[in-house]
A and B are shown apart, each in its own frame.
Chain A
């Protein structure tokens, strides 16, 4: 099937190569308790994901590469779908950056990726590589936005928030505005109309990000925008896709008398609320729930589901699978 990249494909190689500014002494110094003799061993975690046409010997080559550089694999996931000749793996390993410099690691994996004609080969060393830069786009509802901001402040969300963009005005007394000011994160209010979506301005504002997060942003991004931006966009949808596409899910759910409600986080593609699903969560509801508690449970789910998706994404757990699905290790 070759490389699956549609026009509006938002899958992108998040390789980060610019490491020249960083020297090896700026990372966390963690002594490996299993290997105390290496008193200078500053073992660091590395993650490598690999997607290529299936064949014999890939795991052997990958693990040998890691071992040959003194890396120790802590966990590995390998997945080959039943009737498809495609291979996915994700390895988490610890290594000594002195013995295996970042640049060398890049080269080594690049060589293997060429050997196997990989569609994707990404390494990430969270302690060395810069955090992912994201912009958050929101509308009026801010429960997800606030949850992300707090998660970011508490260090639970290890990203860099470059800015928050919204089509909803928030005054200087607003909780979000004050928080952002306190942390030096710009807030851009873009008044959007049907005629003027102001997508070029948005593109300008987000051009230096690694991916975008739509935290209950209610405007549809055009395919032009998706193509121009080119990188992944994660959206949170209140409701269990593919049901309840569109607006007003909670009310629909209350009216339908469902006993379970849910939230879905997914990657944005041209189809509305139709991109590859990353994560779904549910909660029980009953006759004792009214619209208000439906909404509250829903919002809770959305926050958790979105955070979980972003975290999985940053840990390189999310990979494209077939046309419209994901492998989530």
Chain B
């Protein structure tokens, strides 16, 4: 099943990387690579931290946990964090009414000297084994590499452009490895020039019904953590989904489950609705039917024509997609039952 919306990839903090980057704290990058020689790094980082971070080099950590319900999970989790000097800043716990399943997300600060990253991984692993967890993920945004994503788009580029700008401004904490599109863009287009300026490859794959070129796509995206379909209009086959194996986030213009398929704006306009919306969701084999992450709406009235419908729609799509990606990167999105999500 392609519904693996977990970010289970281990942050690869195995070897120390070049430290040149570690000193830089550009506006757009919390690109601190996983460096294991922590003593040196801590001292350095102390100098280079922005004022938002407390001087005692405390770092944020996020832990999500999903296991069969039992008494004592919260106690054990919080004790683990406390025993290592971690201070929980926010926590969400959710146990559905009639189901024996437990979800939690903890946001804490810790001193990486007192609680090294590798140790943290071990500690939580032990807990996950204790409780037979279905999912236990730790993420330290300041240390772990950013999520690598590829963005797929078709002709319409409002979402793509919005993502690129968000990425450039540091609002989208990901690494964009490439942009793939079934629509040709000349060297003069805003998108192409932007990508060139930032050294991101653009792959134009002309797809036809007979040749979807999914093999090539898989090649191009094999090193990504998840994919973003930014109004990508081709359907990805079940084969592709299974082969890729990681999560794929899609933006649908319309409030699912209504208005599946093409041109929801026109459908909504003709139906005389008073509210329009957008939906971001995970991609599964069924078209426009995967678990919903976020939905947003806006009012429309008789004063709107098709053009303003479309404009409001595009606005919503941008916001909805960005929000979904951000929630996903912050480990707020968890699978719930068969077709739903918990979003903390």
Contacts and interface: CB of A to CB of B under 8 A. Distances in A.
B297 A260 contact: yes
Contacts of B272: 276-277, 321-322, 324-326
Interface stretch (B37-45, B190-198, B256-264): B256-264
B271 A324 contact: yes
A258 B271 contact: no
A262 interface: yes
A240 interface: yes
Interface stretch (A106-114, A134-142, A151-159, A279-287): A279-287
Contacts of B259: 242-243
Interface in B328-344: 336-337, 339-343
Nearest to A277: B272
A278 B273 CA distance: 8
B270 interface: yes
Interface in A73-88: 79, 81-82, 88
Contact of A287 (B258, B303, B305, B336): B336
B229 to A, nearest CB: 19
B273 A280 contact: yes
B333 to A, nearest CB: 10
Given A258-B256, A287-B336, A242 B271 contact: yes
Interface in A264-313: 276-282, 286-288, 290
B294 interface: yes
Interface residues of A, number: 35
Interface in B182-209: none
B275 A262 contact: yes
Contacts, number: 94
Nearest to B344: A287
Nearest to B254: A243
Interface string B232-252: 000000000000000000000
B263 to A, nearest CB: 14
B94 A287 contact: yes
B302 A256 contact: no
Given A259-B292, A260-B297, A327-B302, A277 B271 contact: yes
A288 B297 CA distance: 20
B97 A290 contact: yes
Interface string A226-265: 0000000000000011111000000010011111101000
A328 interface: yes
B339 A256 contact: yes
B99 to A, nearest CB: 10
Contact of A280 (B103, B270, B275, B303): B275
Contacts of A321: 272, 302
Contact of B297 (A278, A282, A286): A282
Contact of B301 (A257, A262, A287, A328): A328
Contacts of A278: 274
Contacts of B97: 290
Nearest to B340: A257
Given A258-B292, A259-B292, A259-B295, A81 B271 contact: no
Contact of B292 (A256, A288, A327): A256
B277 interface: yes
Nearest to A305: B274
Contact of A79 (B96, B103, B303): B303
A82 B305 CA distance: 7
A290 B303 CA distance: 37
Nearest to A284: B295
Contacts of B292: 256-259
B257 A256 contact: yes
Interface of B: 94, 96-97, 103, 255-259, 267, 270-275, 277, 291-297, 301-303, 305, 336-337, 339-343
17 contacts: A79-B302, A88-B302, A240-B275, A242-B273, A243-B255, A243-B257, A256-B292, A258-B257, A258-B292, A277-B272, A277-B274, A280-B274, A282-B275, A287-B103, A287-B340, A321-B272, A324-B272
Closest 4 CB pairs of A and B: A243-B258, A325-B272, A257-B340, A327-B302
